[in-house]
A and B are shown apart, each in its own frame.
Chain A
Amino acid sequence: MAALLRVENLVKTFGGLVAVDGASFEVAAGSITGLIGPNGAGKSTLFDMIAGATHPDSGRIVFDGEDVAGLKTHEMFHRGIVRTFQIPHEFGRLTVLENLMVVPAGQPGETLTGPFLAPAAVAAREIEVRDRALSVLDFLSLGHIADELAQTLSGGQKKLLELGRTMMAEPRLVLLDEPGAGVNPTLLGKLADMIRRLNREQGYTFCIIEHDMALIASLCDPVIVLAEGQVLTQGTMDEVRADARVLDAYLGGAEAA
């Protein structure tokens, strides 16, 4: 499989703290790649850089053959890189449907003059976006709460909505930051099924940060292990689990001797 994303020697420091220390890895097109590692390993900082929220001190982020390191969040988004957050970032006072409908960029109704000069185009695009949003809600089994305010949703439903918002972007690479955190076991099973279906049926490429090892084991291949800002090893979950250095990293023992 070809690499959709290739990270080369990324470095990011905050003051004296080296958060990412020369990390290199690839995310193959069509894969569900897992990113695990102990707290402070640099996982979320890597996501921040790939999504353009923060910029690397050095190194390259090659997406689809182009070095995108240093681009801003919206530029990454336009290239098809979309991320979710550990804590969902929904618009609480918009409805569930509206939360999805605001995602696609460049809608003609966004401009000041559009609704006056090209009302038909605005209406046509809005119908198109609404249809797409309704089909996403259908996929997520959230159709029944389309008109509820997002702030009234349960934590688990907000996680689903967050996934739905990434679907609206028609992404090429979806970065999921702890999709399982705070989700009850029943919903977690459904969420895993949805991620798997999006991957198999719609060709989505995922890169997932997760602490729930069972979820990682059931979804991800390969699994990349990050420790102290560097890639320690990678392979199937069974392979990395069998690597003594991985447990060592989780127990923080590597540099203790």
Chain B
Amino acid sequence: MTKVLELESVSGGYGETEILHDVSLQVGDGEVVVIIGPNGAGKSTAMKAVFGLLRLSHGTIRLKGAEITRMPPQEVVRHGVCYVPQTANIFPNLTVEENLEMGAYVREDDFRPRLAEIYAMFPPLRERRASAAGTLSGGQRQMVAMGKALMLDPTILLLDEPTAGLSPKFRGEIFDTIRHINGAGTPILMVEQNAKQALAIADRGYILVDGQNRLDDTGPALLANPEVAEMFLGGAS
């Protein structure tokens, strides 16, 4: 399996605070990979490192073998990495269609065929194409955010807690959608709090604790590993 994304011993943080310590992870072609871990483990930070939003002190990040370490976000996007942040990921006052068009901002070719594909992938968005995105339900807003990111037909899609704040019903829908997006050929790296559901649809998972790699394995293997309890709840005193 070829590696789409590769982080090798990445360290970095904000200001003087170092958050990631030698984090390594990989996403293979066609994979859904999830990063889980307790609060403050550095999960979202690891994702931001890929997208050029973090001060890196050490390490290498490669996209399909080409180095993108320390590349600013506007260039990372052009190399095919699209990132959906956890919050503020849509333009609430623009219509659904305008949001999707904004996703194609850096495309120089005709994006309309891709728009049709996105609508085919998310039928509820076609129905609401003329509505202000802010008036949609939480689950549909998340679809707008993902659809917008997919307008570039990215090499890899990064999702930061796509189900945060959603009700259990919408959570299930979003996980189904993620599986669907992946089925259409896009590798995905995501951070999730709902570890069980995320691992159920992922090919592999990484557990980060205190900014360091602790475990990586298939979903079922991680869920069966007794060390996971200690990572989330601390060791017995």
Q: Which residues of A are interface residues toward B (Cβ below 8 A)?
A: 16-17, 38-40, 181-182, 211, 213-214, 216-218, 237-238, 241-242, 246-248, 250-253, 255-256
Contact = CB atoms under 8 A, between A and B. Distances in A.
Contacts of A255: 168
Contact of B232 (A214, A216, A237, A251): A251
B177 to A, nearest CB: 16
Interface in B201-231: 223, 228-229
B138 to A, nearest CB: 8
A17 B165 contact: yes
Contacts of B138: 16-17
A40 B233 contact: no
Interface of B: 17, 36, 38-40, 137-138, 164-165, 167-168, 192-198, 200, 223, 228-229, 232-234, 236-237
A251 B165 contact: no
A211 B197 contact: no
26 contacts: A16-B138, A16-B167, A39-B164, A39-B193, A181-B40, A217-B237, A218-B237, A237-B234, A238-B237, A242-B236, A247-B228, A247-B229, A247-B233, A250-B195, A251-B195, A251-B223, A252-B192, A252-B193, A252-B195, A252-B197, A253-B196, A255-B168, A256-B194, A256-B196, A256-B197, A256-B200
Nearest to A256: B197
A242 B226 CA distance: 12
- Residue of A246, A250, A253 with most partner-chain B CB within 10 A: A250
B8 to A, nearest CB: 28
B193 A214 contact: no
Contacts of A250: 38, 195, 232-233
Contacts of A211: 38-40
Contact of B167 (A17, A242, A246): A17
Contacts of A256: 194, 196-197, 200
B197 A253 contact: yes
Contact of B194 (A181, A214, A247, A252): A252
For the complex of A and B, the 6 pairs showing the least CB-CB separation, nearest first, are A253-B196, A213-B234, A252-B194, A211-B39, A251-B195, A255-B168
A241 B236 contact: yes
A43 B138 CA distance: 21
Contacts of B39: 39, 211
Given A211-B39, A256-B197, A40 B164 contact: yes
Contacts of B164: 39-40
A149 to B, nearest CB: 19
B237 A40 contact: no
A136 B136 CA distance: 51
Nearest to A155: B17
Nearest to A228: B168
Contacts of A252: 192-198
A238 B236 contact: yes
B219 to A, nearest CB: 11
A256 B198 CA distance: 10
Contact of B234 (A39, A40, A214, A242): A214
Contacts of A242: 236
A246 B196 contact: no
B229 to A, nearest CB: 5
Contact of B193 (A40, A217, A241): A40
Contacts of A16: 137-138, 167
Contacts of B165: 17, 40
A211 B237 CA distance: 16
Nearest to A214: B234
Contact of A237 (B38, B137, B237): B237
A16 B233 CA distance: 30
Contacts of B233: 213, 241, 246-247, 250
B206 to A, nearest CB: 15
Contacts of B137: 16
Nearest to A210: B39
B100 to A, nearest CB: 24
A241 B223 contact: no
For B40, B164, B196, the residue with the greatest tally of chain A CB atoms inside 10 Å of its CB is: B196
- Considering residues A38, A39, A238, A252, which has the most beta carbons from chain B within 10 angstroms of its beta carbon? A252
Most B Cβ at <10 Å: residue of A17, A214, A218, A253: A253
Contacts of B229: 241, 247
A194 B206 CA distance: 37
Contacts of A182: 17
A177 to B, nearest CB: 13
A241 B196 contact: no
